Copies of this chain bind each other. A is one copy, B any other.
Amino acid sequence: MSGTNRRELAKAAADGAGPAVVLVEPQLGENIGTCARAMLNCGLTDLRLVRPRDGWPNEKAVSASAGATLVLDRARVFETTADAIADLHKVYATTARPRDMVKPVLTAKAAAQEMRAHHSAGRQVGLLFGPERTGLFNDDLALAESLITIPLNPGFSSLNLAQGVLLVCYEWYQTGDIPPDSFLFTGNSRPATKAELVNLFEHLEAELDGTGFYTSEEKRPSMVRNVRNMLQRAHMTEQEVRTFHGIIAALVGRKKQRRQEG
């Protein structure tokens, strides 16, 4: 899955007022880089680092980011989690388990919808992610309004940091202006008109008449309907209708040829 366009990328960055992603004590530079990549995949650019173990900037983050340098270049480093989130109105913390805390727990999707509502109302929101090995500290969790849980196989729910960032940011992106759930890609062609389709059906039916395909005149109407139904499920383009005319002609021609040879 590829696809990069400088102009679109710059646009996404300019629009980058979505949630901030706050990584608390990230250990590996590679993970910071893959998180930046996942963020930009989802149109997010506001990366904040609290006490990154190996300092900042970090060359390994750059090489692991697959070109998401725009996010890394803007990343800001903070001494405490409280500093990193000081300007935010709502903060969501990701953790495998709520531990011994009384907290609302939201699925990633529900959190994304809530974040979108806050965002639309002009509020700044942020996502907290903890260190790779331990997850967030309890003091950091207590700074968040809500916890996010990602519904996954309870028997094997371990994600690496970038996978967690990707899934939560993906859900954020899905609440935005995305393509329709499904459409038929037709390239340079266009869907056939009904007139073109009926013309094709009649061509086929005329060629089938007299071949014995229609077992009786009585059954012909229902057989015609069944084939028309089947062919319409193919959602043919104008080009494909012409191809199908060609298929019919070729098959008829071969039969005629065989008859002549026979």
Q: Which residues of B contact A4 (CB under 8 A)?
A: 155-158
- A158/B2 contact (C-beta < 8 A), A110-B181, A153-B43 known: yes
A217 at the interface (CB under 8 A from B): no
Known contacts: A102-B237, A163-B166. The answer to whether A154 contacts B8 by CB under 8 A is yes
Q: A100-B187, A101-B185, A184-B105 are in contact. Are A154 and B3 (CB under 8 A)?
A: yes
In Å, the complex CA distance between A158 and B37 comes to 9
Residue contact A240 to B156, C-beta cutoff 8 Å: no
Q: Is A224 an interface residue (CB 8 A)?
A: no
Q: How many residues on chain A are close to B (CB under 8 Å)? A: 75
Give Cα distance in the complex from A4 to B156, angstroms: 5
| Pairwise interchain contact B1-A94, C-beta atoms closer than 8 A | yes
Asked whether any CB of chain B lies closer than 8 Å to the CB of A152, the reply is yes
A157-173 interface bits toward B, Cβ cutoff 8 Å, 1 = contact, 0 = none? 11110111011001001
A182-198 CB mask vs B (1 if < 8 Å, else 0) is 11111111000000000
A247 within 8 A of B: no
Residue A230, interface by CB 8 Å: no
Task: Say whether A95 contacts B1, CB under 8 Å.
Answer: yes
User: Interface digits, A68-101 against B, CB 8 Å rule (1 contact, 0 not)?
Assistant: 1000000000000000000000000011111111
Cβ contacts under 8 Å, A240 to chain B: 102
Q: Which of B3, B152, B181 contacts A109 (CB 8 A)?
A: B181
Given contacts A43-B152, A102-B240, 19 further A-B contacts (CB under 8 A): A1-B135, A1-B159, A1-B164, A4-B156, A8-B153, A8-B155, A8-B156, A9-B155, A10-B155, A41-B156, A66-B160, A100-B188, A102-B186, A102-B187, A104-B184, A105-B184, A110-B181, A147-B185, A150-B170
